[in-house]
Amino acid sequence: MRISFLGAIREVTGSLYLLETKTTRVLVDCGMHQGCSTCGVQNHIDFPFDPKTIHAVLLTHAHLDHCGRLPKLIKGGFKGKIYSTLPTIKLATLVIEDALHIMEDEYRREGTPVLYSKEDVEATLDQFEAVDYSRDVTIGDLTCRPRDAGHIFGSAFWEVYQKNGPSVAFSGDLGNRGSRILRTTAQLSAVDALIIESTYGNRIHEDESTRELKLREVLENTVKHKGVLVIPAFAIDRTQQILFEMNDLFEKKLIPPIDVYLDSPMAIKATDVMKEFPQYYNNEARALAASGDDLFDFPGLTLTMSRDESKTINEAPRPKVIIAGSGMMNGGRIQHHLVRYLSDPHATVLIVGYQSEGTLGRELHDGKKHVKVLQESVNVNAAILSIGAYSAHADQAKLVQWVEEAAALPKHIYCTHGEEGAAVALATRFVQHLKVDATAPHPGDTIEL
């Protein structure tokens, strides 16, 4: 068995792994590079393999950095199945269609080349094949099994077994502790090798039990000072986690009434998808849904699908909360709100997710006081806060614990999907704490099992 590390290696986006045996070639993920100045160029570079020779794709989840280049793969001649859970198929459909829409807009405005066409997207959707957790898929001489990763709705890590050969697991992205909606990450089975994400491989999150209290404090402060709270949130999972906890706070009357605007068509559609599959909720959320509670709705919440509806938020009275994408602030409706409110000392920007190097979100998180948004120079007078416990990614402690509690320790661990410092730090931790052979591969590296 041979594994080539082709994307999200010593960086966070662009996930792509090629798994080969003598008879079978499988990709794990096919994601888009995001957030960097050269990402557009990287996305357009030819794959380092012939897409026609790939038998199947194992998709871990619906984030763009894991599924965004699937239509490019189809455009190149890939004819196989793309295996994932049904919620992932539904969410990936939204994500890929939205990515095409954004690229077409950028082409009209700036002449930026479009990565793939509507026809490529439609062909991609036709090649999806749903498989539920712990159900085996046979691809050539490989048996592939998705397990619940607990990262976002429908996310999976994949365990792959070669007939009369070695075994390997691809973690995809693993979930943080304390989700109010998702189940916990499933136990890792006994495998020879593990390819594991390291987004927060050098970090320990805040205690997740404090995040609702911190959200409550930010909301109370916004009401008290008649301010504006702007939350850049990823459309899938982060938005729904925040809506869930706001719903809880309002129902328990722990915060005063305040108008909340969900200004993200994709997040609105993703929320509808999540409502379709209550069987994927954890026990708490499933019981609430069964009792008739709408987990993601509450008095004062306004959904703004159209651009005209979005514009009305500007004139809405204070105090108010605006939740909009994109989560790293490099595109989407959030940028219009940032142009308006970053210079306002009575506004707060609340960061609730990972901010990749090179993104506007990273600049704000790191304390930059003067930024460019939508070609405008903006002074940052708003308060910039973050709640790390809202991250959908496991931190170093959770990653190490997950491996430690596996059915058996892997013989080899490869730390990917993390900036260089995070990947190396996690590999070092595995070596020191678990006495396991662990390393952070370089882009293009190939291993033999």
Same-domain status, 383 and 399: no
Separation CA 172–CA 15 (nearest Å): 9
**What's residue 343's pLDDT?**
97
- Please enumerate in sequence order all residues whose Cβ is within 8 A of that of 111, keeping only pairs 6 or more positions apart, or say none: none
Name the domain boundary from 390, 410, 440: 390
Nearest to 395 by CA among 113, 207, 220, 255: 207
**What's residue 259's pLDDT?**
97
**Residue 392 banded pLDDT, cuts 50, 70, 90:** confident
CATH number at residue 87: 3.60.15.10
Same-domain status, 318 and 364: yes
**What's residue 308's pLDDT?**
95
Q: What is the pLDDT of residues 170-194, one digit of tens each?
A: 999 999 988 899 999 999 999 999 9
Name the domain boundary from 344, 372, 390: 390
Same-domain status, 259 and 330: yes
Same-domain status, 378 and 231: yes
Same-domain status, 379 and 396: no
Same-domain status, 234 and 307: yes
Q: Range of 340's domain?
A: 208-390
**What's residue 418's pLDDT?**
96
Cα distances (Å, whole numbers) of residue 271 to 153, 181, 301, 324, 331: 10, 12, 13, 14, 20
Instruction: State pTM to two decimals.
Output: 0.93
**Residue 290 banded pLDDT, cuts 50, 70, 90:** very high
Separation CA 366–CA 124 (nearest Å): 38
Same-domain status, 301 and 234: yes
**What's residue 87's pLDDT?**
98
Same-domain status, 161 and 295: no
Mean pLDDT, residues 422-447: 98
**What's residue 81's pLDDT?**
98
**What's residue 447's pLDDT?**
98
Same-domain status, 120 and 90: yes
Same-domain status, 279 and 245: yes
* Burial class of residue 289 (count of CB atoms within 10 Å of its CB; 0-12, 13-18, 19+): middle
CATH number at residue 221: 3.40.50.10890
Count of the separate structural domains present in the chain: 2
Same-domain status, 402 and 335: no
Separation CA 214–CA 211 (nearest Å): 5
**What's residue 178's pLDDT?**
84
Q: What is the pLDDT of residues 18-74, one digit of tens each?
A: 999 999 999 999 999 987 778 888 999 999 999 999 999 999 999 999 999 999 999
**What's residue 357's pLDDT?**
82
Q: What is the pLDDT of residues 205-243, one digit of tens each?
A: 888 778 889 999 999 999 999 999 999 988 999 999 999
Share of the chain above pLDDT 90, in %: 88
Same-domain status, 199 and 218: no
Q: What is the pLDDT of residues 105-164, one digit of tens each?
A: 889 988 889 999 999 999 999 999 999 999 999 999 999 999 999 999 999 999 999 999
| Cross-strand pairs, 144 | 137, 160
Nearest to 262 by CA among 284, 282, 246: 246
Q: How many helices (H) and strands (E) does the chain have?
A: 14, 22
Name the domain boundary from 390, 420, 438: 390
Whether the ω angle into residue 189 lies within 30 degrees of 0, i.e. cis, is no
Q: Tokens 């991250």 identify what position?
A: 391
**What's residue 207's pLDDT?**
81
More confident residue, 263 or 234: 263
